[in-house]
Structure 1
Amino acid sequence: MASYQKALIAVDLSQESNEVIERGLSVANGCQVSLMHVIEPLTFAYGGDIPMDLSEVQEQLQNQAQDKLFKLASDNGISVDDCQVVVGQPASEIHRIADESDIDLIVVGSHGRSGLALLLGSTSNGVLHGANCDVLAVRVHPSD
C-alpha cells in the first residue's frame, strides 16, 4: 500500500480540533499536511432577514478564525503557509480544495450524531460521500 503524499485536515475550531489534527498527523505519517477551516457565510444563516451589510462582521469572523487556525497549526508543527480559511458550504469547499490541491487524504472530525441530527446530515458525512480520495473521520469526544 502506497503512503499518502498530501493530506488535508479540516477542523471546526472547537476544542476537539487538536484531537482531529493529532490523529490526522499520525495517519499522514510525514506527508505534506494542509490545515483548513470553512466559515459559512452569514447570509446562509440569516438570508435576507437582516436589513444590513454583514460584510464587516463576516471579515471579523474570518480574521478570528484565521488567528485560531494559525494557533492550532503552530501548536501542532504545521506551517501557517499551509493553512487557509475559506467561506462557503463546508463539504463543498473541502472537496474543492482537496481536488485543486491533489489531496489524497482528507481528515475531518465526526461527532457521532444519531437520530434526527444524522438525518439532517453532517459535514463529515457530506465530505465522505463526495470525496475523490480517502477520508478519515475521526470520532471526537466532546469536552465536558
Structure 2
Amino acid sequence: MTVLVAFDGSTPSRKAAEHAFATYPDEEIVLLRVAEAASGSTTAGIDLAREYLKDRRDEIAEKGFDEVPEFENPDDVAFRTEVTVGQPAREIVAFAEEHDVDHVILGSHGRSGVSRVLLGSVAERVVRRSPVPVTVVR
C-alpha cells in the first residue's frame, strides 16, 4: 500500500504526516511537496513557462525538506519525498493517479464561510477529485 501525504511545511501538513506515520508505519509513505508556479499568460511563452517550471521543480528538489526532521516520528517510520510544480489540488490528484497511490492524507487549515469561498480549499478539491480514499487531518 502506498500512502501519499500532501506536504507544504505548514502545521496542518505536519499533522497529516504525523498521522500517516502513526497509522501506516509499515506502508510506503510519500511526502509530496507541490511548488506553486507563478501565474501568467498561458498563450504567450509556453516554452519559457515550461523551462521555468522545470527550473522551479529542480530548485525545490535541491532545497529538500528542511522541515522533515521536526516531525514527530518516534518509530523512525521510513518515507520518501517527491516534488512537483503546479496547482496543488491538481498535482496531488495527478500524482495519486500516476503512481498507484492507495490513500491520500492531507492537512486542512479549517477555513469556513467567506474565507473558504474566497480562498478555495485544496482539501475540498482533492476530496472531490481523488480516485482513492482521502483522510483530511485537522
Report the TM-score when normalising by structure 1: 0.72
Conserved? CA contact 1:11–1:17, under 8 Å: yes
Aligned position for 1:138: 137
Aligned position for 2:100: 102
> How far 1:11 sits from its partner (Å)?
1.0
What is the percentage of aligned positions where both structures have the same residue?
30
Structure 1 residues 96 and 117, CA gap change in structure 2 (3 angstroms): same
Q: Which amino acid aligns with 2:101?
A: I
Structure 1 residues 60 and 95, CA gap change in structure 2 (3 angstroms): closer
Aligned position for 1:123: 122
Partner-residue secondary structure (3-state), 1:24: helix
Q: Which amino acid aligns with 1:62?
A: I
Conserved? CA contact 2:26–2:77, under 8 Å: no
- Residues of 1 paired with 2:109 and 2:115: CA distance? 10
Structure 1 residues 72 and 113, CA gap change in structure 2 (3 angstroms): same
Conserved? CA contact 1:9–1:33, under 8 Å: yes
Conserved? CA contact 2:4–2:29, under 8 Å: yes
Structure 1 residues 65 and 92, CA gap change in structure 2 (3 angstroms): farther
> How far 1:137 sits from its partner (Å)?
0.5
- Residues of 2 paired with 1:21 and 1:66: CA distance? 16
> How far 1:31 sits from its partner (Å)?
1.0
Aligned residues, how many? 125
Aligned position for 1:66: 64
Q: Which amino acid aligns with 2:114?
A: L
1:40 to 36, 43, 46: 36
Aligned position for 2:112: 114
1:18 to 14, 17, 31: 14
Conserved? CA contact 2:35–2:57, under 8 Å: no
Q: Which amino acid aligns with 1:126?
A: R
